[in-house]
Amino acid sequence: MVFINSISYFLPKKKVSNQEVITDYNRYVSTNELETEDGIFGKTGVKIRYQSDLSITAKDLGAYAAQQLFDRNSIDRSDIQALIFISDALDYKGPSTACILQSKLDLPKSILAFDILHGCTGWIYGLSLAKALIHSKQVDTVLVITADIPRRVIHPEDIELSALFSDGGAATLISNSPSGKDQNMTINDFDFGTDGKGRKYLYTERSASKDPADITWLSQFKDIPSGLIGGRLRMNSDKIFLFALRIVPLLTKNILRKHNLKLEDIDYFVYHQANGTMLEYLRKRMKIPKEKFIISIENIGNTVSSSIPIALYQLMQKTEIPRESKILVAGFGIGFSWGGTVLTLK
């Protein structure tokens, strides 16, 4: 069996309220349309999101989350045999950011370390690969770090994006044995899907080798704090909503079928915290009881690859969950990609 032993997460100090989102928006856009705090919350289900300093990278947020995990659980770093870093904001095209994290976290030089360039489904991919490494007896213990800084690639005039996304990181320790703590969960079978035709509905333009940023393009954004030097996030919200409406119920059905379970056999559902309003719509559509359906986005925002482990950690901290309880976890979004599994509390 393969176990999630513990989870930790880290959010930057700076909080951004709905009013601050509106203020930033009004600096760049002249319009007669009045944006309100209630209007933003109604569209996104978010009241607070977090923003990192420009000197901080996604790697740093992930390292902070890992350090908290080590300190809180008295983890011996020498036991870690593999490190997987998941983000869509790597430090460099080369070397691997995971290699840099090995040094930053003072992990053994004998470890396997690699990056996964991924977003909304990234944590699910990390679980799957960690389980495969352990199940094949290549390693006994894997540290999965997820971290993203989406606010760095958002123009304030794109208020829907600015209202939704949050910077953050998470660390998850996975091994071949339980740790003796109450967070232990076994990882069961996975279901995945990909449709690259959806790539144009959520992407970061001018961010890599495909039509890279040039001086002319960058000069438009000299008055933006980040300068959008890492590109600009673009999203077609209608297409994303339709994608989620089509895929999430199907993904849930496939995961249940793979485990020979019914909807009522699941004790909690923890999906990628994409949008609070969207999640509530999906909950009603799938007829999942409110008390079983976790929406944690209100005071955190959409932290991309870290949203599921953060929501899962909060669930475990706030709720006394009986052993053998089943938690369905699923990611969906940019790519288009989707995937999920069932965790069983031990």
pLDDT of residue 34: 75
Span between the terminal Cα atoms of the chain, in Å: 11
Question: Model confidence over 22-52: pLDDT tens digits?
Answer: 999 999 987 767 789 999 999 999 999 999 9
Residues 169 and 248 in one domain: no
Lookup result for tokens 């990192």: 52
Q: Are residues 124 and 57 in the same domain?
A: yes
pLDDT at position 181, please?
67
What is the pLDDT, as a whole number, of residue 320?
86
- Is 229 within a domain? no
Predicted local distance difference test score (pLDDT) of residue 128: 98
What integer pLDDT is reported at residue 182 of this predicted model?
Answer: 62
Residue 209 lies in a domain: no
Counts of helices then strands in the chain (DSSP H, E): 10, 13
**161 shares its domain with 265:** no
Q: In this structure, are 142 and 264 located in the same domain?
A: no
Find out whether 281 and 317 touch, Cβ atoms under 8 Å.
Answer: no
The answer on 247 and 195 residing in a single domain is yes
Q: Same structural domain for residues 151 and 196?
A: no
Same domain, 149 and 89: yes
The reported pLDDT for the residue numbered 212 is: 94
**Torsion, CA 300, CA 304, CA 305, CA 310, rounded to 10:** 10
Q: How far apart, in whole angstroms, are the C-alpha atoms of residue 192 and residue 338? A: 6
In a domain? residue 214: no
Contacts 24+ apart (CB under 8 A), 288-297: 288/263, 292/266, 292/267, 292/268, 293/268, 293/269, 294/268, 294/269, 294/270, 295/45, 297/44, 297/45, 297/46, 297/273
Domain match, 166 and 59 both: yes
Indicate whether 62 and 85 sit together in one domain.
yes
Residue 198 falls inside a structural domain: yes
Is residue 24 within 8 Å of 35, Cβ to Cβ? Answer: no
Residues 26 and 175 in one domain: yes
CA angle, residues 51, 55, 59, in degrees to nearest 5: 80
In a domain, 208, yes or no: no
Strands (E), 102-222: 112-117, 141-148, 168-175, 185-194, 202-205
Q: Does 52 lie in the same domain as 196?
A: no
Could you tell me the CATH number of the domain that includes residue 91?
3.40.47.10
- Could you give the percent of the chain with pLDDT greater than 70? 99
Number of structural domains the chain divides into:
2
State which residues of the chain have pLDDT below 70.
Answer: 32, 181-182
Domain range spanning residue 249?
A: 186-203+236-345
Measured at the alpha carbon of residue 274, what is the angle toward residues 324 and 113, in degrees to the nearest 5? 70
Give the pLDDT of residue 180.
Answer: 75
Question: What pLDDT does residue 93 have?
Answer: 92
Which value, in Å, is the radius of gyration of the alpha carbons in the chain? 20
What's the pLDDT at 345? Answer: 96
Does residue 156 belong to any structural domain of this protein?
yes
